[in-house]
Each structure stands twice: as structure tokens, then as C-alpha cells.
Amino acid sequence: MTRRVNRRDFVLTSAAGLAAAAATPRTLFGQGPTMMTPRSVKPIVVSSANGHRFKNGGTKTCVETAFEGIVRGDDVLDSLIAGVNIVELDPEDTSVGYGGLPNADGVVQLDSCCMHGPKKQAGGVACLEGVRTPSRVAKAVMEQTDHHLIVGKGAQDFARNMGFTIEADLNTDRSRQIWLEWKRRTDPEHYLDPRKREEVERKVMREMIEEGLVDENHLYGTINCDGISPKGEICGVTTTSGLAWKIPGRVGDSPILGAGLYVDGAVGAAGSTGRGEANLYNLCSFMIVEGMRRGLAPKDAGMEALRRIQANTVEKRLLNGRGLPNFGINFYVINARGEHAGVGMYSNDRLKFAVCDENGARLEPIEPLLPGNPED
């Protein structure tokens, strides 16, 4: 005989069922996304190798400065930007900020973006001229506007309005002489047959690297720097002068959220240096963070992104004699537990990334996806 349920019993039974459902979402509805939010972690800063090479006449490198600020209790993003400012301002680094290698017209155009994990905010600038520290302008975009990216003359006007000094030319004597040498060796027309232009420019670049005029790592020069505090607060910043001798107005991956940098405060951060176009096509920094959200370790998430780039590189002009990508690209990764990795398409004894933690600052080797060199 069927038991009749009165209104009072129905309400109580339904409420109990809803409470049970709310209390056990993973059991009833499947596994939710991985959210790694430990109560405390060991602080760490990771960056591209130039983060532990240049001091701009001071006593500390980028990662040392950033780590010192984080353990002192300063805001994580403020600490990271103070670190990359050292590299942006150092004329000896021709890949970032003041003295960065200019575009094809001899003009230094700078890109940068930053992301603040706890605040869930971001800001960026692209094709910015006349300001030595684009990372600080990117932070001003984050804090003073409702936008994520401002470019070109608008970015310069915004920087001026925010009180930044605008200089007529960010070339140093060194960067200008390197550009003049490149200009002398190449055809001054820049809209040639793509195949002819690629052959000429690759040949000239290899010659200038072999002669010691250009640092190989500065052709795609950039610095990415990411950090986590003892409270698990994660932030990141990327800043660059972009591809050496690029077509004026070219924007690479560095200022683009999800490409040159991506941060999720509950999961981790990833940033990149190397061929920006390959990163842009695949939005790899976002992909890496999402891989860690699924439970991948930093190294494995980075390798997954590199394999995606390799699979999507099919144009013959971008392949070497082995049918593999003929360019380099690296990723610097941390998760919310403070675990880290530096991975690249290729590696060699000189290719490293910077780390600073309780054991001090150091360079660690990049772990490669592929053997050999991109030119093999």
C-alpha cells in the first residue's frame, strides 16, 4: 500500500535532499576543477635568464629584488615590477626597455602586461614609445582604467597623463649601431616576397650572432617574471622590446593575456619568451595554467603546450632540415604550491632560467621538448 506524504513531510524530505546535494557536489556531479590553494607556501620567483644577469649598476638582480620584496611583505606584483625595472633600465640588455633592439625603422617600441592574482586584475600596453619602463605603465592601465590593453600613441598619451617621462628616443649608442649594421646588410624594402625576405633576414641574423654583434637570446628578447608569496598570492609580469627589427607596429605575445602571460591566483602562473607568433597562435600561457588546473605538474603542463606548438607548425619556412620548428620558445611556470619549471622547444648548456627562493638566486637549465638545436 502506497504511503501518502503530507505537505510537511514533503518539505522536510526535499530540504534534506538539497542539503545533501550541496554537501557532496563531487560525489553527485563529478570531479570539479583542481583549485590548489594551500594555506602557506614557500615563496619563490622565477623568470627568464636575464632576470639573474643584469643589475643596472646595482647589487641585486631582478629575481633577487623581487624575492626580497615578497618576503618583506610587499605586494607581489609591486615586487615583480621592481625586479623587471632593473632589466628595463639596464642598457646592457638589448631585449627589454631602454636600449632594446629597435624596429625596422630604428624606433624602440615596447610591450608589456601584468596580472594580479589576488585582485583578479590585469593591464597591458603595446607599441609604446618613449617610456623606459613599460611594465609600470601596464600596471597603471590595470589600476587607473577599466581596460586591459592600450596601444600606440594612445598608450604614450596615457603614460604622459599618468606622469611618466616621455623621451624622444630610447636607443642607446649600442642599439643604434647594431640597427645601422643590420640596415646596411639588408634590403631596405620590407614588403618583399615573403620567401626572399625570410631567407635574407635569417642569413643576416645568423651572421650577426656568429660575429658577436647580437645576443642570440635577444632576437626575441623579453623578460617574464612570476612569483608567489608565503600566503599563496600569485602575480606575473612580462615586458619586452619585441622581435629585433620588426615591422613597425608589430605586436607579439608579451602584452597579450593568455599568451605572453597568464595568472590564475588559485592555480598558478605561466609566461613566455621566444617566437611570439607561435605562442599567440596557441595561447600557451593560458593553456599551461589550465593544464595545472587539471592537475598537471608545471613541467608537464609546459611540455603539453610545446607539443601543441610543434603540431601546429607546418609552414616550410618555419621548419628545419629535420622537419621540426626552426625557432626557440620557452615557458616559465609556477603553481599554487610553489612548484616551478622552465621548459623550451630546445635547450643547450647556455639556455637557462632564473629562480630565487629560500636557497638564494640561481640559474637552472631549461628542460627541452626536442633534441638538438632549432637550426639543425
Residue with cell 604622459: 160
Side by side, the strands of the sheet bearing 360-365 are 149-151, 121-128, 110-116, 234-240, 222-228, 44-48, 352-357, 360-365
So what's the pLDDT on residue 21?
40
Over residues 284-302, the mean pLDDT reads: 98
Q: Is the pLDDT of residue 226 over 60?
A: yes
So what's the pLDDT on residue 182?
84
So what's the pLDDT on residue 2?
44
So what's the pLDDT on residue 259?
98
Band of residue 111 on the pLDDT scale cut at 50, 70, 90: very high
So what's the pLDDT on residue 33?
52
So what's the pLDDT on residue 28?
30
Q: Is the pLDDT of residue 45 over 90?
A: yes
Antiparallel, parallel or unpaired: β 44-48 and 234-240: unpaired
Q: Is the pLDDT of residue 157 over 80?
A: yes
Residues 30, 275: Cα–Cα separation, whole Å: 39
According to CATH, the superfamily of the domain at 69-337 is: (Glycosyl)asparaginase (3.60.20.30)
Percent of the chain with pLDDT over 70: 81
Residue 175 CB contacts under 8 Å (≥ 6 apart), including other chains: 91, 94, 99, 100, 101, 102, 108
Among 9-23, 33-47, 172-186, 325-339, which range has the highest average pLDDT?
Answer: 325-339
Q: Quick check: helix, strand or coil at residue 98?
A: coil
- Please give the DSSP secondary-structure letter assigned to residue 325: B
What pTM value is reported for the model?
0.84
Q: Is the pLDDT of residue 24 over 50?
A: no
Query: How does pLDDT run across 173-189, given as a tens digit for each residue?
Result: 999 988 888 887 775 55
Residues 283, 367: Cα–Cα separation, whole Å: 20
Band of residue 348 on the pLDDT scale cut at 50, 70, 90: confident
Cell of 83: 625586479
Band of residue 214 on the pLDDT scale cut at 50, 70, 90: low
Q: Are 34 and 330 in contact (CB under 8 A)?
A: no
Question: Between residues 271 and 192, which one has the greater pLDDT?
Answer: 271
Band of residue 17 on the pLDDT scale cut at 50, 70, 90: very low
The yes-or-no answer on residue 222 being catalytic is yes
Percent of the chain with pLDDT over 90: 74
Over residues 83-103, the mean pLDDT reads: 95
So what's the pLDDT on residue 349?
81
- Marked catalytic residue, from 61, 133, 222, 273: 222
Question: Between residues 23 and 179, which one has the greater pLDDT?
Answer: 179
H/E stretch holding 222 reads strand 222-228
* Domain spans of the chain, in order of start: 69-337
Over residues 98-114, the mean pLDDT reads: 95
